[in-house]
Structure 1
Amino acid sequence: MNVVVTLEHRFDSTPDGKVWTQTTFTHSFWQCYLEVFDHVRVVARVREVPSIPDDWKQANGQGVSFIAVPYYVGSWEYLLRSPQVKSTTRIAVGAKDAVILRIGSQIASCIQSLLHQSGHPYAVEVVSDPYDVFAPGAMTHPLRPFFRWLFTNRQKQQCTQAMAAAYVTKQALQQRYPCANYSFGVSDVELSSDALQIQPRPLCQSKSTWILIFVGTLAQLYKAPDVLINAVAICVQQGIDLKLTIVGEGKHRTELEAQAVGLGLKDRVCFRGQLAAGDTVRAELDQADVFVLPSHQEGLPRAMVEAMARALPCIGSTVGGIPELLAAEDMVQPGDANGLAQKIREVVTNPERMAKMSARNLQKAKEYKSELLYEQRIAFYRYVREQTELWLKQQ
C-alpha cells in the first residue's frame, strides 16, 4: 500500500527530476514510513530551479516521489494560485492510498475536504497551532482575526474526523485539537547520535561578551525575532554586552535588519541567512552561549531541541510544546520584550545557572534520540495502514 503525505515545507526541483531540500525532510526522513508502506507520495510546494547549492540534500529517490503543488509563499500568493493548487491536490490521492495529513496546512485542508466527501479515511500529524500562529503580534495581516477563527476551527474539525492522530507534543496540542480515535504524542524531532554533545558545557566565569542565537523562519514573525531584537537592545542599554546571531531567511529579513540598525545594533546582530541542516547549523550553535526562541506559537520546536542537544542554555516562551522542554524559570510570556530582556540578563550574569541549564537541556534532549521514537512511529503507521485496508475491504 502507498501512503500520501502532505507537507507545508517548500522544495526545489532540478531539470534531472531530483527534488531538493536545504533543511528538513531529506530522503532519509521517509525511511520510517517505508518500513510500513510500499511507497511515499509527498504533496508539497515545489519550485523548478536550474541548479541548487552543493550543500542541499535530495528529498526524493527510491520509494519516495513528489506531487508538485504550484509554488506560493503567504496567503496572498496562495489566493492567486488557489485554482491550480486545488486542481493539483484533487488528483493527489488514489482510491487505495493511505493518507497522512500534516496539519495545520492549506494543502492538507484542500485534500481533507475531498476525503471527507468520499468517506476516505485519513490520519493527521499535528505539528502546529493556528490559534497561536494568528495570535496578536504574531503577524500583521488585516484578516488575522478571521484567519485565527477559521483555521483553528478547521484544525479542530480535521482532528475530530481523523481515524488517528499523532501530535508532536505530549499534551499541549492534544488539549486544543482532540482526536476521539487512536492518538498519541510523539515528536517529529529525531536526533542522531552525532547531534548530541557528550558533556554539558563547563562553568565559564570569565566571558565579557555573550552570544545569543535564534534559529527560525523569517517568512512570518510568529517566532518573534523582532521581539528578541528589541530585548537585545534593552539589555545593551543596561550595560550587558551581547551579540545576536539570526539563522533563517524570509520576507521579513529586510525590516528586521532595519530594526537592528535603528536600535543601534548593526554591529551586534548578524543575519546568517538560511543554512543547511546538520553540521553547518551545529557549528553556529556551538559558537553561541544561549539559544533564544520567544515564539508566539510552536508545536514542538525542532530548533530548540537541536540547541539543547548541543548543551546550550535555552530561553523560550510559554507557548505550544516549549513548556514540555524547558523549566518554568527559563520561559517568558510571548511578546514581552522587557520580560525577555530581564530573563536574558538573569541568565548571562549567572554562570552557575547557565551550567545547570546546559546539563539539564542535554539530558532532556536525549529523550529525542531516533531509536527511542522509532517504535512509536512504526506503531502509528501500522495502525493507519490497517485501518485503511479495513475500510477498503468494506467498500
Structure 2
Amino acid sequence: MRLVVSSEQRYLRTPDGRVWSTTGTANDFWQRYRAVFDEVRVVARVADRPGRPPGAQRVDGDGVEVFALPHYVGPARYLLRLPRLRAAVRAAAEPADAVLLRVPSAIGTLLHRVLRRRGTPFGLEVVGDPYDVFAPEASRHPLRPLLRRWFTRRLRAQCRAASAVSYVTERALQASYPAAPGAVTVAYSSIQLEESAFAERPRRAAGAARVAIRLVSVASLEQPYKGVDVLIEAMPLLVDAGLEPSLVHVGDGRCRAGLERLVRERRLGDRVCFAGAVPPGAAVRLFLDDADLFVLPSRTEGLPRALIEAMARGLPAVATGVGGVPELLSTARLVPPGDPIALARAIIALAADPAAMAAASARNLARARDYSAETLARRRADFYRALRVRTVPDPLRPDRIEEVVSGAD
C-alpha cells in the first residue's frame, strides 16, 4: 500500500529527474514510513536546478517518490500559484492510497480539502502550533493576524476530522488541537537519534564557577521566531556580570545579515560567531561537544529537535518555555520568550553553580533517552499501522484488523 504525505519542505530537481534536499529532510527521513507502507509519495514544492547543489542529499529513490508541486516562497507567491497548486494537489492522492498530512501546512490544507470533498479518511502529524508561529513577536508579515486565525482554525478543524493524529508534544499541542473522540492518537517526535548521537556519560562538575563560558545555539535563520536576536541582546548583560561569554550559532538564513548587524551595534566583536549551515548529525555534534551551555531563545516551538540533540550530548541547556519545551527541561531552566534580561540571569545562575551544571547534564542525557531512535520507531510503527487500518479504502474484516495492527500484514 502507498502512503501519500504532504510536506512543507522545498526541494530541488536536477535535469536527470532526481530530487535533492539542502535542509536535511532527505530519503532517510521518509524511509521511516516504509516500516509499514510499501511506497511513500511525498507531496512538496520542487524547483528545477541545472545541477546538484553542494552538500545536497537525495530525496527520492528506494520506495520514495516526490510528487512535485509548483514552487513558491511566501503568501504572495502562494496566491499567485494557487490555481496551479489546486490542480496539482487534486492528482496527488489516488483512491487506493493512505494519506497523512504533516500540519500546520498550506499544502496539507489544500490536500485536506480534496480529501474532504471525496469523503476520504486521513491521518495527521501535528508538528507545530500556528498560533505561536504567527504571534506578534514571532512574525512581521503584514497578513500575520489573518494567517494566525486562519491556520489555527484550519488545524483545529483538521484534528477534529482526522481518523488518526500524532503530536510531537506529550501535552501542549493536544490541549490546543484535540482529536475527535474515537480517533487514534499518539505522541512522538520527528527526531532521529541513533546510538552515536548520545554521549557516553554526563559531564562532570567543574572545580569552580565558570567565567569563560561557551554558548551554542542551533536554528534556521529564515524566520525571526527563533529568537537569536534575544540571545545576542543578552550577551552584553553577561559581560556586565563579569563573565567572558562566547557564542557560536549553527544555522543560516535570510535573517543572518540583520543579526550580524546587531552584533556590531552591541559591540560584541568576535564574541559571536555564525557558523552557517552545517550538515545534520556528526558535524553539528562537534559544535555541541565544544560548548558549555546550549541556549534555545525561541519565541515559538513545537518540540525542538535541536534541544533534544543537545541534551543527548549531555549539554546543560537554558530555553524559553514555549510549545513543548517545558516537557523537556525543568522549570528552573526556562525563561519567558523575548526577555534578554531573564535569559542572561538564567545563564549566569548556571555558570555560577558547577554542581547545577553537572546535574543538568545528567538530567538532560537521561531525558533525551526517551527520544532514542529505537523508542520512537516503535511508537511511529504502531501509529502507521493504525493509520493504515483507519484509512484503507475497503473496509477490513474484523478478523483482519488485529493482524494489520500487529504487523502481520
TM range (shorter): over 0.9
Q: Where do 1:368-379 residues align within 5 Å?
A: 368-379=371-382
**Cα separation, partners in 2 of 1:266 and 1:70, compared to 1, 3 Å:** farther
Deviation at 1:203, TM superposition (A): 1.9
Question: Where do 1:1-395 residues align within 5 Å?
Answer: 1-52=1-52, 55-180=55-180, 181-205=183-207, 207-389=210-392, 391=394
Task: Give CA-to-partner distance per residue, 1:61-119, whole Å, 9 cap, x none.
Answer: 11001012222233233233333332322211112111000001111011111111111
Distance across 2 between alignment mates of 1:56 and 1:348:
38
**Higher mean Cα deviation, 30-39 or 115-124?**
30-39
Structure 2 letter corresponding to 1:13: R
Greater mean deviation of Cα atoms: 36-45 or 69-78? 69-78
| Per-residue CA distance 1:174-202 (angstroms, 9 max, x = gap) | 00000021111112213100010101112
C-alpha distance after superposition, 1:295-327 (max 9, x if no partner): 121111111100111111111111111011100
State how far apart, in whole Å, the 1-side matches of 2:383 and 2:192 are: 16
Amino acid at match of 2:28: S
Distance 1:164 1:239, change over 3 A: same
CA contact (8 A) 1:6 1:44 kept: yes
For residues 228 and 203 of structure 1, the distance between their equivalents in structure 2, rounded to whole angstroms, comes to 25
Change (3 A) 1:53 1:142: closer
Amino acid at match of 1:167: Y
Structure 2's unaligned 5+ residue stretches are 398-409
Shift of 1:121: 0.9
Indicate how the Cα distance of structure 1 residues 52 and 390 shifts in structure 2: closer, same or farther if over 3 A, else same. closer
Mapped contact 1:218–1:248 kept (Cα < 8 A): yes
Contact kept in structure 1, 2:389 and 2:396, CA below 8 Å: no
Judge conservation of contact 1:23–1:275 (CA < 8 Å) in 2. Answer: no
Change in 2 beyond 3 A, CA 1:130/1:57: same
Give, as a single letter, the amino acid of the residue that structure 2 aligns with 1:224.
G
Q: Is the 8 A contact 2:164 2:390 kept in 1?
A: no
Per the TM alignment, residue 390 of structure 1 is displaced from its structure 2 partner at its CA by 5.1
Quick check: 1:121–1:391 contact (8 Å CA) kept in 2?
no
CA distance in 2 between partners of 1:378 and 1:127 (Å)? 17
Distance 2:69 2:237 in 1: 43
Unaligned runs of 5+ in 1: none
TM-score (norm 2): 0.92
Aligned residues: 394
Bigger drift between 238-247 and 354-363 goes to 238-247
Select between 109-118 and 53-62 the one with higher mean Cα deviation: 53-62
Of 322-331 and 206-215, deviating more is 206-215
The answer to whether the 8 Å contact 1:22/1:277 transfers is: no
CA RMSD of aligned residues (A): 1.8
Is 285-294 or 320-329 further displaced after alignment?
285-294
Tell me: CA distance 1:49–1:392, structure 2 relative to 1, closer, same or farther (3 Å): farther
Deviations 1:123-144 (A, max 9, x none): 0000000011111211112222
Matched residues in 2 for 1:361 and 1:91: separation? 45
User: 1:233·1:263 contact (CA, 8 Å) conserved in 2?
Assistant: yes
How far off is 1:55 after superposition? 3.7
Q: Give the Cα separation in 2 of the matches to 1:148 and 1:266.
A: 38
- Greater mean alpha carbon deviation, residues 306-315 or residues 257-266: 257-266
The percentage of counterpart residues that share the same residue type is 45
